[in-house]
């Protein structure tokens, strides 16, 4: 009779800003192995509002294409009420007052959820041939962290 | 030896239409507490095709920015085959014939999944400082509901 | 005292290319039934970088609207560094050199995650009235597969 297991791990990183993408697949795979969980679901999660975790190919040409597309769809030089300090009254954050990040929030919402859920089988993430787990920075250079939560047997 | 628990809760709300965003974080946190689950994953889910649950900041300037962006990318005044009642034959819904919602479906698909999965640790959703759980209405004023499902120990 | 169960199933399909959408709801429902899991979470997942699984309505007018929008936002006739074989050095794939798919990767990232997580209650996926589970091909006609992983009791 299988027993349920829940495993969790948190990692920190320093991003470079400017829509940088970090391949965290090896760390996530290590976490799944360390969990001792053979069958289940892994949830890889960004606790930041201007980052996300996404699964896709880690190929520099594609990442250049995608960041170009994102900048075109969500221009950083438009007006953002989120960055209008003469008007804003909620969630004031001194650090953000120097460099606006309204466009980063919009990019994050457009990209979708904060994390990705991936099936685990025989102790391995069920990533396809070209799939990698990517941590995407949509804001400036910052200290960040991501979590992985594995639930299964 | 930990025992598996699954907890579920459903809540209803009346939205206001016009891309309104409701902060449901407190209700989701209450559900997690009520579940008695200490370590696991919470899946917060919209069972509607023109709404979604998303995690981001709840700040009125940002929400104004994002809804403006969404309206620009997915204009409601374009032609939508979904709303062409002279042509459409599938899934006929009398209620939708008065006000088309083809653009709302397109917005929902562009935004991503119907729900969000968030890690739970020590009985708490692992939301970051500015992260809130948001219920996003992409259609007109309607009666809606959302579900939360927590699985863990 | 409930016991944890994890159930997994994999299915293959041949897509038609050109942004085709396949309704896989019945197969996913069958998997949930076969799992014997009454309460839990189902993760339906695409292991491909140019496909995704999404929940929305399966109505041909809407699918035509959405694919039109996607082609407008991510034109296939733009320059993609991912398809520039005079320059690219990473992840070389002979099959892709005949027909570029840089735009398909960009579409997949814009759409969001590779899969969807849906609550399961009383042995049923908690899909709303119009919600269907869709497998979305963003690339050419290809052999594909999807996975469903159900965790619960």
pLDDT of residue C1: 66
- 3-state DSSP helix/strand/coil percent for chain C, to nearest 5? 30, 35, 40
Sign of CA dihedral A150, A152, B4, B10: positive
A-chain residues near B35 (CB < 8 A): none
**Which of B105, B108, B120, B142 best tests the C interface by mutation, with the highest count of C CBs <10 A?**
B105
- Size (chain A), residues: 153
Verify whether the Cβ–Cβ distance A90 to B2 is below 8 Å. no
pLDDT of residue C93: 78
pLDDT of residue C151: 98
Question: Which residue has tokens 């998303």?
Answer: B54
More confident residue, C97 or C24: C24
User: What angle (nearest 5°) sits at the alpha carbon of residue B9, between those of residues B5 and B14?
Assistant: 165
- Which tokens sit at A141? 């250079």
B-chain residues near A77 (CB < 8 A): none
Sign of CA dihedral A52, C99, A125, B109: positive
Long-range contact set of residues C105-108: C-beta below 8 Å, sequence gap at least 24:
C105/A56, C105/A57, C105/A62, C105/A65, C105/A66, C105/C49, C105/C50, C106/A62, C106/A65, C106/A66, C106/A69, C106/C74, C106/C80, C107/C50, C107/C70, C107/C74, C107/C138, C108/A56, C108/C49, C108/C50, C108/C51, C108/C52, C108/C138
Pair B101, B140: CB distance under 8 Å:
yes
A-chain residues near B2 (CB < 8 A): 3-6
How many other C-beta atoms lie within 10 A of the C-beta of residue A48? Answer: 25
Per-residue model confidence as pLDDT tens digits over B37-78: 999 999 999 999 999 999 999 999 999 999 999 999 999 999
- With a CB cutoff of 8 Å and minimum separation 6, the contacts of C34 are C7, C9
Three-class SS state of B47? coil
Quick one: which of A5, A113, A100 has its CA closest to A53? A113
**Which of A81, A119, A135 best tests the B interface by mutation, with the highest count of B CBs <10 A?**
A81
In Å, what is the CA distance from C91 to each residue of A21, A28, A58, B62, C102? 17, 21, 9, 38, 13
pLDDT of residue A1: 66
Phi, psi (rounded to 5 degrees) for B21? -120, 125
- Which tokens sit at A149? 């939560």
Verify whether the Cβ–Cβ distance B48 to C131 is below 8 Å. yes
Q: What is the mean pLDDT of chain A?
A: 95
Per-residue model confidence as pLDDT tens digits over B72-126: 999 999 999 999 998 998 888 777 777 889 999 999 999 999 999 999 999 999 9
Q: How far is C60 from chain A (nearest CA, A)?
A: 24
- With a CB cutoff of 8 Å and minimum separation 6, the contacts of A95 are none
CA distance A128 to C145: 10
Q: How confident is the model at residue A125 (pLDDT cuts 50, 70, 90)?
A: very high
Sign of CA dihedral C4, B9, C31, C42: negative
Verify whether the Cβ–Cβ distance A80 to B61 is below 8 Å. yes
Q: Where are the beta strands (DSSP E) in chain A?
A: 5-14, 21-23, 40-45, 51-56, 115-121, 124-125, 132-137, 143-152
How many other C-beta atoms lie within 10 A of the C-beta of residue B1? Answer: 5
CB neighbour class for C133 (10 Å; exposed up to 12, middle 13-18, buried from 19) = buried
Quick one: which of C115, C72, C84 has its CA closest to A112? C115
Quick one: which of B47, C22, C107 has its CA closest to A57? C107
Nearest to C153 among B4, B45, B74 (CB): B4
User: What angle (nearest 5°) sits at the alpha carbon of residue B131, between those of residues B130 and B133?
Assistant: 145
Strand pairing partners for A143?
A: A14
Q: Would you say residue A92 has pLDDT above 90? A: no
Per-residue model confidence as pLDDT tens digits over A18-70: 899 999 999 999 999 999 999 999 999 999 999 999 999 999 999 999 999 99
Q: Would you say residue C94 has pLDDT above 80? A: no
Phi, psi (rounded to 5 degrees) for A87? -120, -30
């Amino acid at each position: 009779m299988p027993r349920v297991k829940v495993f969790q791990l948190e990692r920190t990183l320093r991003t470079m800003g400017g829509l940088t993408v970090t391949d965290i697949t090896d760390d996530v795979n290590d976490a799944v192995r360390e969990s001792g969980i053979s069958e289940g679901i892994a949830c890889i999660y960004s606790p930041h509002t201007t980052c996300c975790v996404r699964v896709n190919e880690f190929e520099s040409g594609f990442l250049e294409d995608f960041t170009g597309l994102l900048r075109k769809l969500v221009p950083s030089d438009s007006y953002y009420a989120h960055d209008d300090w003469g008007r804003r009254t909620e969630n004031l954050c001194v650090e953000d007052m120097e460099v606006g990040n309204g466009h980063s929030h919009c990019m994050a919402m457009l990209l979708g959820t904060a994390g990705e859920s991936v099936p685990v089988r025989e102790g391995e993430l069920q990533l396809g041939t070209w799939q990698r787990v990517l941590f995407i920075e949509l804001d400036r250079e910052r200290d960040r962290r991501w979590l992985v939560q594995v639930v299964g047997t």
